[in-house]
Structure formats: structure tokens, C-alpha cells
Structure 1
Amino acid sequence: MCAHELGASDWGDWLPRAVASADPDGLDLWYLGCNGFVLKAADGTTVVIDPYCGTGDPPRTVRMVPVPFDPGTFAELVDPDAVLATHEHSDHVHGPTQRPLVAGGADYIAPDDSLAVVREEGWTDAAGVTEAAFHEVAAGDTVELGSLTLDVEPANDPDASHPVSYVIDAGTGTFFHGGDARPGEAFASVGERYDIDLGALAFGSSGMLFDEAAGEPVYKRWYSSPNEVAEAADQLRLDRLVPTHWDMWKGLTADPRSVRDHTRSFAHPEAVAVAEIGDRLSL
């Protein structure tokens, strides 16, 4: 099996049809597993963040949740306005998943090193993908997408280069996507400047993953621990926290319900929303 090849979905087209037929009063979100989300606003503006339908890089990283949709079918049925990437890792910038969405007409919004991967992989070699679709952003930028206002903020992800986070204001509520970032000054600054209704933060266990160079499993820690995700949520002053990434990789999975025990004594978040792949949330 090739590294990060596109997985075949056995979910049919029910999820993209659910998104396409939805008529939100404010902002509706569907969790795609890993760190992916689909957002749909009341005016129909639709944004996809960090979608990933790859299989991982077995035996190092092995996907543990279903592939939720076929990208070509998703592009045809949902017709998203934009795809956002938080950083350059393969489960956040993934050509087989994301290129069909861009070929279908979506803009691609990402920081510089994420776009460097896009260009190295030759996405413009595919029909319907042109350089005009790519939009580089950095912390401090603001992008208007239909009724949505997207503010680009910094992120503390020691495993990535030039990662960003996104604050998305739908008028009726605000959603924060932190990528794979951990607590730090960047999150504290965001929490001081925004009123965030729902925030997605990567969370998982540490584990032993096979390393080809070493020829044996080695220790890996990529995401926030339960204590760290609680600290990050408090820094961001979230009303609701939805833990992400806990479901994805064999050996790094964790129980998102445990996060509640770590957040109880903090002022924020006021609630922890446990979402499984395919679940729908509303603002």
C-alpha cells in the first residue's frame, strides 16, 4: 500500500447529500474524523477544513476510522466554496482528497509551507486546477467567504512549519479550528480578542509507532494530552470544546470523554462536545 493513498469509502454518498440538503439557521458543522470539518452557513457558503480521506502510511500510521466520502462525489454534490489547510502535514494537505474539491471550483486557502507541498505535488497538472485557486494566508489576515469572516491566527505546533489557526465568524456564532496546535501564548491572545462559541482542538495519546529508518517502533507525541487540551481550551475561553484527532491513528487513539474530567475546574470550556466521524454540530 502506498503512503497516504486515497481510501475507498463504504459510506456511499449519504454524508455529502446530508451537507448539500442542509438548510442551517446559523452555522452547521460536520466532523470528518481526524481534524476535518465541513462548515455550512445559512446563506449556503460551504467551507471544508483539513479534509483527509487517506489511509495513512502503514505500518507507521494506520487509519482507524471510515473514509467518510469519495472526494469527486463530494465536490459534485456539495460544491464547496473553499478548502482550508492549517499546516503542511499529509493528513492536512492531501492531494487525492483535496485536489478534486479544488478542481470542482473551490478556492484553496493555506499558509506558505502548505502551498509549497501543493506545488511540489503538481496539483495544477490535474484538469480544472489552476494557480488562481491558491490563496496564501498568514497570521493577521482576514478573508471574507460569503457570510463568513475568516480571521487567520498563529498556532503553537512544534511539529509543523508556519502553522495557522482559523477563527470563523458566521454572525450567529464563532468557530475556532486550532489545527494540531498545543497551548501557548498564541491561544491566550486569541482568547482575549474573540468570543468563541465552539473550538476544535487536537487531542490524543502518545504511542510507539514503527519507524522505517530505525527498523522498530519509536516514541511519538503529536497532539495535546488531556491536561494540555484543557489548558488550551481555557486559554481560548471556549464556550464549547470539541476534541479532534483522537480517533485517527492506531496507537495514538484516546477517549474524548476523559477530557471532561480535566476541564471541570476551569472557567472554560463550559461544555465538552464529543463528536464522532459524521456527527453534526450547530451554532
Structure 2
Amino acid sequence: MSSLILTTWGHAGVRLERDDHVLVIDPGTFTDPRILDGADAVLVTHEHPDHVDVPRVAAALAPEGGPELWAPAPVVELLTGAGAPAARLHAVDGGASFDAAGFAVQALGQVHAAIHPDLPPPANVAYLVDGAVLHPGDSFTPAPGGVRVDVLALPVAAPWLKLAEAVDYVRQVSPRVAVPIHDAILNDAGLALVDRVAGGLGGDGYRRLAPGEPLEVRTA
């Protein structure tokens, strides 16, 4: 069985490393900018700033030999407008499969979870990496049928989210480990409450990572 290393870098930012290859997911404005250091590929779930810091990501893509990026079309348009090289930008929809710096990626789902009926939801693509790590962005997109997710990046706090929904989502996906993300709007008391409820009801695999703390992911 092979493995990769997962680290979290604040809010929705997740970094995956294997064999000197680095894949970054959702490097947004609430995420430590060091998440992009040495990145070979970047995945963005949707256009909200807390998931993509457009100026910073465009700058990371600009140098010769910089990383490639996959994201829904609205994100690609934002980055193109910010000067990111078009040759490194790839628009994806749910259902697409591709290789990103040696990682096998499946794009899942299409739409951001509803915030309010008066706010049209933007495109949102979840990513399943190496059949083992599921990052849903701002959604509760399930894993494909028959896939046993090893690590779920679990959103726990947002205007579109109730904590009960997060608990039900981790129960539905049933990963070996659920790592809470999307929590920059919480203070220490809020984080403790979320961990107590989601950790207590979501199963024994719930585990909060300190920024940069490594977690080994089991892949097939």
C-alpha cells in the first residue's frame, strides 16, 4: 500500500505531498501563503476569496516552470484577468478526471451549497485525489459509489452550513479520518464547540491537525 502526506494550512487550504511532488487545494485569503511554496499543481474548488487568493495564486503561476491549476471556469477567468499564464490554467467540471503532478484527480459535483435563496450559488467542484482524499470545497458532495475515502476534509463552519449537516456528511462518507477545515470564522471557543460536537457525533476518526502537522494518507 502506498501513501502520501496531508497537511492543513488554515481554513480550506490543504497540501498533499508524495515523492517530492506537491498538490495544493484551495489556497485562499484565510490560508497561510506558505501553502504554495514548491507547489507543482493547484486545485481550486470555487471562486470565493477564502478558497482562492487571486493575486497571490496568479503570482505563483507566473514564473517559468510554475505550477498548473485546475478549477471551475469562473476561477480560470479571474486568474486570467489577474495575469496568470493561460497555458497553465485548466477549466474543469464535475465528472472530469485528470493527472495533476502525478496525483490522480476526480472532479465531483457542480454547485456550491445554498447560502440563501436570494443568492445564486456559484460553481463548486469537489476533488477526490488518488481515490483517498476528498476535499468538497463549499459543499457536501459525496464520494463516488464504492469508494472508501481515507481522509475527508470536513467543512465545519460557514454561512451555508449547520453543524448537524457536517456530522451527517462525515457519517455518509465514513472516512478513516475526518479532518476539520473551513473554520477561520471561529474563535477558540467556537473551535472547541465544533470539535466536541462533530468529534463526538462524527466518529472516532475525527482529528484536528495543527497547521503543518503531517497526516499519512493511505492510498491503494
TM-score using structure 2 length: 0.82
* Deviation at residue 193 of structure 1 after TM alignment: 3.4
Q: Which residue of 2 aligns with 1:68?
A: 32
Provide the C-alpha distance between the structure 2 equivalents of 1:116 and 1:96, rounded to a whole number of angstroms: 13
Provide the C-alpha distance between the structure 2 equivalents of 1:232 and 1:163, rounded to a whole number of angstroms: 17
* Deviation at residue 145 of structure 1 after TM alignment: 2.4
Evaluate the alpha carbon distance shift between residue 70 and residue 39 of structure 1 in structure 2; reply closer, same or farther with a 3 A threshold: closer
Gaps spanning 5+ residues in structure 2: where? Answer: 116-120
5 Å-filtered alignment, 1:19-168, equals: 26-41=3-18, 43-52=19-28, 54=29, 68-69=32-33, 74-75=36-37, 78=38, 80-104=39-63, 105-119=66-80, 122-124=81-83, 129-154=84-109, 157-159=113-115, 160-168=121-129
Contact 1:83–1:102 at 8 Å: present in 2 too? no
Q: Which residue of 1 aligns with 2:118?
A: none
* Deviation at residue 141 of structure 1 after TM alignment: 0.4
Provide the C-alpha distance between the structure 2 equivalents of 1:90 and 1:277, rounded to a whole number of angstroms: 20
Deviation digits for residues 188-245 of structure 1, max 9, x if unmatched? Answer: xx2523111001021126xxxxxxxxxxxxxxx23x3332111111222312111111
Q: Which residue of 2 aligns with 1:3?
A: none
Deviation digits for residues 111-145 of structure 1, max 9, x if unmatched? Answer: 112223223xx222xxxx31111100111100112
Q: Which residue of 2 aligns with 1:282?
A: 216
1:196 to 141, 146, 149: 149
Evaluate the alpha carbon distance shift between residue 81 and residue 131 of structure 1 in structure 2; reply closer, same or farther with a 3 A threshold: same
Q: CA RMSD in A?
A: 2.4
* Deviation at residue 261 of structure 1 after TM alignment: 1.5
Q: Which residue of 2 aligns with 1:179?
A: 137
TM-score using structure 1 length: 0.65
Provide the C-alpha distance between the structure 2 equivalents of 1:31 and 1:257, rounded to a whole number of angstroms: 16
Contact 2:68–2:88 at 8 Å: present in 1 too? yes
Q: 1:272 aligned to 2:206?
A: yes
* Deviation at residue 69 of structure 1 after TM alignment: 4.0
Where 1:99 maps in the other structure, the secondary structure is: helix
Task: Give the partner amino acid of 2:137.
Answer: G
Task: Give the partner amino acid of 1:45.
Answer: H
* Deviation at residue 253 of structure 1 after TM alignment: 4.6
* Deviation at residue 70 of structure 1 after TM alignment: 5.1
Evaluate the alpha carbon distance shift between residue 253 and residue 103 of structure 1 in structure 2; reply closer, same or farther with a 3 A threshold: farther
Rg comparison, structure with higher value = 1
Provide the C-alpha distance between the structure 1 equivalents of 2:208 and 2:99, rounded to a whole number of angstroms: 29
Contact 2:12–2:26 at 8 Å: present in 1 too? yes
Evaluate the alpha carbon distance shift between residue 98 and residue 29 of structure 1 in structure 2; reply closer, same or farther with a 3 A threshold: same
How many matched pairs?
205
Of all paired residues, the percent bearing the same amino acid is 24
Task: Give the partner amino acid of 1:282.
Answer: E
Q: 1:243 aligned to 2:199?
A: no
Q: Which residue of 2 aligns with 1:14?
A: none
Contact 2:128–2:135 at 8 Å: present in 1 too? yes
Moved more, 105-114 or 92-101: 92-101
Contact 2:71–2:90 at 8 Å: present in 1 too? yes
